[in-house]
Structure 1
């Protein structure tokens, strides 16, 4: 059992497929595992069978007077986590020390009350978790609907009844008869322009396309001090992470900046609407196509060479139709992402309610017998 196998706040066991070498800390049924690295993640697990804890986990054994499930809720309650997190050392990898955590006072009502509180919280948190799971499934369905809508619009256009012809390309299928065949080399040309280190650093995300790197805190790649080799990116340039193109990690840049010398930057040539092209390049089945033309021994080493990308066939609608398609996509995205945002907010509220309920119950702020 490692940190990555524990879901924060809920204590659910997660399957990762990872294997671990070395000796771990033995634990027994009813022991509690507590993540001392980044304790704000609230990685707490109640063991049901013996095993080994590896990495930054403490194995804690409740005293006989303490009900294990009640103690799980004590350890995972927001107040306790905040106290532990406030004691950590280290900026990037904050760790808690047992010398401090072990001295923190915790509520210990009579054993019978502990069991009753734990039973109450099992029921209430289970109900809340069920609602969260349903909403998460709804978000997943909305995201799939978003992908399907974009793919349909960029591949078949706005008129479902428009005459079509066989493209002659297996992965492209039928296309509107009035669309014009070309190749990516008719629309982009690779360029490497360096010496613009004063500009904003940009990065490529498969979820967002090209964005300012500083706008995200989940990018583990550190920006070097020397940016002289970073490449210039102008608005409407195409930026490709050639190692992750098969995951859809590319996009048309909406702003000027610089990006990693390991990326591929292409300036636009020919005639195309940048918004339409951005969606087309990222829509299904294009990531699958990029995978077909990538080379590598292992999945994490697949690499798409620019020449192969530029050789890909593309059927383009007239420029005005491209603009209309891009506008329709914008409308669809606004609608779907609005629903996603509302659903995510409702999930946040449920999680807040769950956390407040646990804290109130374990600290005696509510009488679970009256609430039952």
Structure 2
């Protein structure tokens, strides 16, 4: 927008100032609002010969993390009979859909005739608004959607709020220019993000290589000895020992998994770490699920203490994280295992040792050979690591 261009207050909370010659409008005044529906699941005949594209929340992931505008196909379909016996409608190509439940705010444009479930509000654009501009408008309205959901028990925007939505309305030629410029700029941004993603992946691989080198060869080590009893290590530095993980744990706390059935989610209770959460950003007591104290007490053997390590043995096998002070007394599930560093074992060094390539390969081999993919505790305990003296562990931990 030019700095010399005259502006005015839009009167729309989320929009702020707009060019003086623009109008504002309730969206339903410039685009026909339509809802969706789901045919009865109790009528099996409604779900036979399904060939009508039907937009559901399953399609939202196609838009997550991208600048995608158009939905070309749907994951699910409905039948003509189901359509005729429900509130669903076939909507024309170019219809804009907006998710109003679950992942609220995701929007896109139908590239062919489609119907939708009731999770969407749909707009058939009139001659005063183009679909691309409307979608970009919705994508600028995150704060407004958050405001409308505030205080709601369910993450839902109800139809009265949908009908009240307003938008800035420039002349159609300006809408076309805005949409075209945004599409170009966002595609450039997406390309930059992809490049950064590839660069981060390269840097992460390099970091893993450095970690493995420090864990296996040490820092400035000059003397090495041959290792005959291992298929994973040919040599290790002189003065180091090749030991099984079970030999370097705390003698009082065996390597164990945690709660098998945590039960219903509790507002107050004992937090627990489950599969997929062995990353520092997840280790917040407010974000973790909680189990009843009575259930946690039955698995007190897996109670966590600061400096313990939690290792994923199912799912994302091999991810490992250190337990912070704020999670003292927490627990874990059967998808993860607690490893308590023993005497003269530095927890930071052990964290990186468990991430090293030779140890990962040992666990991957065991996981592939299991009936149910995962690492059993017997194999985890037998995993081999080259163990340096404690002072060298600390040096390696600082450099990794």
Q: Same fold (TM over 0.5)?
A: yes
Q: Partners of 1:170 and 1:28 in 2: how far apart?
A: 63
Which residue of 2 is the match for residue 280 of structure 1? 353
Q: What is the CA-CA distance between 1:162 and the residue it aligns to?
A: 4.6
The DSSP-based 3-state class of the residue aligned with 1:135 is: helix
> Is contact 1:5-1:13 (8 Å) kept?
no
Q: Does 1:105 align with 2:166?
A: yes
The DSSP-based 3-state class of the residue aligned with 1:34 is: strand
Q: What is the CA-CA distance between 1:172 and the residue it aligns to?
A: 3.8
Q: Does 1:5 align with 2:62?
A: yes
> Is contact 1:151-1:283 (8 Å) kept?
yes
Give CA deviations for 1:5-56 in whole Å, capped at 9, x if unaligned: 21258345799xx95576796554322221112565x311123345565673
Using a 3 Å threshold, how does the CA distance of structure 1 residues 233 and 8 change in structure 2: closer, same or farther? closer
Which residue of 1 is the match for residue 16 of structure 2? none
> Is contact 2:273-2:333 (8 Å) kept?
no
> Given the two structures, how large is their TM-score scaled by the length of structure 1?
0.69
The one of 41, 48, 57 equivalent to 2:111 is 48
Q: Does 1:229 align with 2:282?
A: no
- The structure where helix makes up a greater share of residues is 1
Which residue of 2 is the match for residue 239 of structure 1? 310
Q: How many residues align?
A: 313
> Is contact 1:89-1:96 (8 Å) kept?
no
Q: Partners of 2:127 and 2:248 in 1: how far apart?
A: 72
Structure whose CA Rg is larger: 2
> Is contact 1:236-1:253 (8 Å) kept?
yes
> Is contact 2:359-2:384 (8 Å) kept?
no
Give CA deviations for 1:256-277 in whole Å, capped at 9, x if unaligned: 3221363543444454222211
Which residue of 2 is the match for residue 249 of structure 1? 319
Using a 3 Å threshold, how does the CA distance of structure 1 residues 27 and 200 change in structure 2: closer, same or farther? same
1:76-225 equivalences in 2 (<5 Å):
76-78=139-141, 81-88=142-149, 93-159=154-220, 162-163=223-224, 165-166=226-227, 168-188=229-249, 190=254, 201=271, 203=273, 205-208=277-280, 212-214=283-285, 217=287, 219=288, 221-224=289-292
Q: Partners of 1:64 and 1:52 in 2: how far apart?
A: 22
The DSSP-based 3-state class of the residue aligned with 2:273 is: strand
Q: Does 1:312 align with 2:400?
A: no
Which residue of 1 is the match for residue 93 of structure 2? 29
The DSSP-based 3-state class of the residue aligned with 2:166 is: coil
The DSSP-based 3-state class of the residue aligned with 1:206 is: coil
Using a 3 Å threshold, how does the CA distance of structure 1 residues 62 and 266 change in structure 2: closer, same or farther? same
The DSSP-based 3-state class of the residue aligned with 1:243 is: coil
Give CA deviations for 1:56-75 in whole Å, capped at 9, x if unaligned: 33343212332221222222
Using a 3 Å threshold, how does the CA distance of structure 1 residues 154 and 69 change in structure 2: closer, same or farther? same
Using a 3 Å threshold, how does the CA distance of structure 1 residues 186 and 192 change in structure 2: closer, same or farther? closer
Using a 3 Å threshold, how does the CA distance of structure 1 residues 68 and 314 change in structure 2: closer, same or farther? same
Q: What is the CA-CA distance between 1:185 and the residue it aligns to?
A: 2.0
CA-based RMSD of the aligned residues comes to 3.8
> Is contact 2:257-2:332 (8 Å) kept?
no
Question: Which of structures 1 and 2 has the larger relative contact order (alpha carbons within 8 angstroms, sep 6+)?
Answer: 1
Using a 3 Å threshold, how does the CA distance of structure 1 residues 176 and 223 change in structure 2: closer, same or farther? same
Q: Partners of 1:13 and 1:228 in 2: how far apart?
A: 52
Using a 3 Å threshold, how does the CA distance of structure 1 residues 224 and 145 change in structure 2: closer, same or farther? farther
> Is contact 2:222-2:237 (8 Å) kept?
no
> Is contact 1:190-1:264 (8 Å) kept?
no
> Is contact 2:224-2:235 (8 Å) kept?
no
